[in-house]
Amino acid sequence: MSYVGPDFDPPQPRRPRRAPLTVALAALVPGALLGWLVYEAVGATGGGGSGDSAKPGGALTSATDTSRTPSASSSPADDGKKPGTARTGSAPAGTGPLAGKVVVIDPGHNSGNYRHTAEINRKVDIGNSRKECDTTGTSTNDGYSEARFTLDVSHRLRTLLEQEGATVKLTRDGDEPPWGPCVDERARIGNTSRADAAISIHADGSAVGNRGFHVILPGSVHAGAADTRPIVGPSRDLGERIAGGFVRVTGSAPSNYIGGGTGLDTRTDLGGLNLSTVPKVFIECGNMRDGKDAALLKSGAWRQKAAQGISEGIVSFLRG
């Protein structure tokens, strides 16, 4: 994800393409060693590819059955978007183990942001400072945008969580809204939904050679409209479980450039976390600017693994 502002090129035109180890990162003793041991056990290829990184930084609409259950082998172009469709609410809650639970998924950025620079550059209050409403996000070197990646993973994650019985809401879906929403609105959607857990999906835009994922946790902020003190503990628990599931299912290693090898990073400068009143974390799934990480992020099969790993962490958190 890009947290420094809309400084990336607009998305490039799409080009046709051819088509029982449990990670107890909750303990983190030490997290870096544990994550790396699992990484070595499952193989450094991460299920066939790799990718590049992102930086810190919708309205509820809908999709067809195909967009809600994207193929695990879909290409970057098959990102779960169906033009002209609208999702007005989450699917009916099931009778699975998460029945009665609400999860809000926040797909980072928006493919239309670069067309609305005035709107996304507008500063909003995040409690301890003011920051841009949103940013454009990053992309792979061949133009696969972070916004498309985050929406695809979010669709896959929604399907998995609904199968567990959860009620799932997205902060944006498809091309609605045409830009944003702003970071304060993304937090508000989770708050007004009284989410039991919320997650913002991103990918990083860091230097070549910087690889791996990291989960961003809210730090303690008590300023202005922000008071994260009640959610710091639960959010850490949520983040540790998601990190553990992500390592186990994807085989990706924790970030080699953020988090000291633990796959966890605490921040107090992100409005989506500062303004949240429900347990919430961000996940940077990989580095879009590194060729090896980018190959993973562009793989539909790997994105399905990413969604599965995140889902397992959320399910574990919500079941206690």
Query: Which residues does the annotation mark as catalytic?
Result: 284
The angle formed by the CA atoms of residues 209, 1 and 304, to the nearest 5 degrees, is: 85
Please tell me the chain's helix, strand, coil percentages from 3-state DSSP, rounded to the nearest 5: 35, 15, 50
Tell me the two tokens of residue 271: 């409005």
Question: Contact 316/90 with Cβ under 8 angstroms?
Answer: no
Which secondary structure element, helix H or strand E, spans residue 223, and what is its range?
A: strand 222-223
Question: Contact 151/79 with Cβ under 8 angstroms?
Answer: yes
Signed CA dihedral, 219, 223, 224, 230: sign only: positive
Exposed/middle/buried for 275, CB within 10 Å: 0-12, 13-18, 19+? buried
Question: Residue 175's closest CA among 107, 241, 250, 128?
Answer: 107
Question: Contact 146/160 with Cβ under 8 angstroms?
Answer: no
Bridge-partner residues for 169, per DSSP? 104
Question: Residue 281's closest CA among 221, 237, 220?
Answer: 237
HSE, CB side, 13 Å, CA atoms: give it for residue 179: 17
